[in-house]
Chains A and B, each alone.
Chain A
Amino acid sequence: MGKKVVSILTTSHFDAEGKRCVYGGAERYGIELTKMFLESGWEVNWWQAGLGWSKQLLPGVTIQGIPVKDSFAQTCSSLNQAFYEQADRVDLAIYFVTFLCYPLTLPKSIAISHGIFWDYPSWESRIGGHLQGDEWYHRMEKALSSPGKVVSVDTATINWATWHWPAMLPRFEYIPNFVDTSYFHPLPENKKDDKIRIVFPRRLTTVRGIGEAMEAAKIITEKYTGVEFHFVGRGHDYQHERQMMRWAAQSNNFFYYWRSPMGMKEIYQHMDICLIPSKSTEGTSLSCLEAMACGLPVIAGNIGGLPDLIIHNHNGLLIKPSAENLVESIKQLIENKEERQQLGEHARNTALMFDISIWKERWKSVIQSVIGEEV
């Protein structure tokens, strides 16, 4: 018997020319998913929109760039149809983003929702106004109703979708994101000084609460001179990065730099508090999980998948991410070392429940329910 084959359709793992990969959370998810299939003896191939190239995603895994270009109503229906025509005879199809299931879906299929991304005020204008918004809903409904299962990284998406379309509930499977807890772990007490270091480990974007975090940093460091703020993440463009670099240069307490995903470990290990003050577009954030796995108490926004990871005052703080609330919460943790450490300990314990091994098992059982045999 030959190997089982899975085809995964995504929008853009690589850029259209296939030259570069901006390696963010979704790309990491894709790589881990691919590795899981390879470990289980499957053959994996990927498809995306691209200028007609074919290349290696991982050893033995090809990715094809299908030369289509359209994103009407924030969906990609010609990409979907090209995939439907070309990716025949697979044992399983995975639609890496839910809207890629529109309009056609292969018989045995799973779609993935990485979290709600239509929850910021300018979404409607971004999508092209009210009418395209209605069209997007229509397509979203079709897309969510057609695959065998929809894997959601958080409960928020399931809540939202089943509020709109109650009958979809059985189709959803909640598989929160993962963290490798043997790689991301706390260091035994390693402090060389008595500074308190606070990390903002995200992209410098408004939805991640960068403005509020910077404002809080200013207020806190005026009062607590031994506190450092580390902004660790890239901007969407170089102007943001340059601006941030200048901003950080003003004060001895502010730092700006970035690391690769795996390189974040040693940063977390030297920090005391982590800020994930997202305002929208958030799932079960990998950064949040990694910080928790390294034993950091996280001060998180009360939206998206973050409530799936954090219980207020138990393993972190869950707040409406205004600058004032951030200041209050940071103060609380600066002044109560014991509480800070206790939250961090609970954070580590919580992260163990999101270990990548558990994530793989959950995925295997969903695949099994779709293809009808053991993975």
Chain B
Amino acid sequence: MSLYAMMPVYNEADRYLKHVLNHLSDFVNRIVILDDGSTDRTPKLCRSYDKVIYYRNEHRTFERNEPALRRQLWEHTVELKPDWILAIDADEVFEERAKVEFATLLDETEYSVVDFRLFDFWKSNKYRIDCGWNPWVKNHRMLVKYDPSITSTWSERLLHGGRFPQQYYDIPYAFQSDLRVKHFGWMDIHDRQRKYDFYIERLPDNKHTQSIIDPDEKVQLEEWIPCKTLQFLSK
């Protein structure tokens, strides 16, 4: 079973990209990257990985039309006819044991979509759990079995339209994996401010947007709970 990761990137060289690419290289077959017009060393970094297949837009699409970008990335990926597709961002990694245990998900015959819990790290070993940030109650569809017979359509929402075509969200049998995803996108205070500025312009009345810049006393954090790897599964 082949597993291709697909990832949009934009000026990631000084963020988490290296970490993410090292991590993915351990358990995926290919990493399809769509560079949304980076102006830093991102292209060079991407190309230094054997598994990366690199595509690039000269002008930034994300800020105008996220679904268009996601769609473009999807189309590049499915051209390669992978069995499974993992949609992941350049600031996300799975917990350590995924390296050994991810393969189990791909043997699955009863499920064709897999959801994960995503933990928004606020500090190096702590994630946020208050209100809409509670990672335990949300499912993020990040892994799908590619089905060429499906005619894809995409959500028209400009923000948070999803990482996959709409049809993959309509599949009711979803497996919710116990492998947790660490999301580092909020960890740096400058990132938080930048994202806040971006979203407040587009979703000014949204409570969740406002909570991005909550003062420390309003932010509830929880320490990461380590999980041991099932060593007996390592090949």
Contact partner, A252, options B110, B136, B228, Cβ 8 Å: B228
Does B150 interact with chain A (Cβ within 8 Å)? no
Interchain CB contact under 8 A, B104 and A249 = no
Whether B172 pairs with A18 at a CB distance below 8 angstroms is: yes
Query: Which B residues lie within 8 Å of A258 (CB)?
Result: 178
Number of A-B contacts (CB under 8 A): 57
Chain A residues, Cβ within 8 Å of B62: none
Report A-chain residues with C-beta under 8 Å of the C-beta of B173.
21, 23
Name B's interface SS: loop
Q: Taking the complex as formed, is A256 at the interface, i.e. its CB lies under 8 A from any CB of chain B? A: yes
- Give min CB distance, B116 to chain A, whole Å: 13
Contact A23 B225 (CB under 8 A): no
Interface size on A, residues (CB 8 A): 30
Candidates A55, A197, A260; contact of B110 at CB < 8 Å:
A260
Q: How far is the CA of A245 from the CA of B172 in the complex (A)?
A: 27
B107 at the binding interface (Cβ < 8 Å):
yes
Contact of A246 among B136, B137, B225 (CB under 8 A): B225
Residue of A nearest to B139 (CB): A20
Interface residues of A in 35-61 (CB under 8 A from B): 55
Measured CB to CB, the nearest residue on chain B to A13 is B172
Contact, CB under 8 Å: B172 / A14: yes
CB-CB under 8 A for A257 and B178, given A242-B136, A249-B225: yes
Which of chain B's residues have a CB closer than 8 A to the CB of A324? none
**B206: interface (CB < 8 Å):** no
Task: Give which listed residue, B109, B178, B225, B233, contacts A262 with CB less than 8 A.
Answer: B109
Q: Is B108 an interface residue (CB 8 A)?
A: yes
Is A263 in the interface zone, CB < 8 Å from B? yes
Q: Contact partner of A20 among B108, B174, B227, CB < 8 A?
A: B174
A252: chain B residues at CB < 8 Å are 228
The answer to whether B111 has its CB under 8 Å from any CB of chain A is yes
Give A192's nearest chain B residue, CB to CB.
B232
Q: How far is the CB of B88 from chain A (nearest CB, A)?
A: 21
* In contact, B136 and A23 (Cβ under 8 angstroms): no
- On B, residues with C-beta under 8 Å from A are 104-105, 107-111, 136-137, 172-175, 178, 225-228, 230, 232-233
Q: A: which residues have CB within 8 A of B?
A: 14, 18-21, 23, 55, 192-193, 197, 238-239, 241-242, 245-246, 248-249, 252, 255-263, 266, 270
**24 A/B residue pairs, CB under 8 Å, sorted by A:** A19-B172, A20-B172, A21-B173, A23-B110, A23-B173, A23-B175, A192-B232, A197-B232, A238-B136, A241-B136, A242-B225, A246-B225, A248-B228, A255-B230, A256-B227, A257-B230, A259-B104, A259-B178, A262-B108, A262-B109, A262-B110, A263-B105, A266-B233, A270-B230
The 7 closest A-B pairs by CB, nearest first: A238-B136, A270-B232, A245-B225, A257-B178, A258-B178, A21-B172, A260-B175
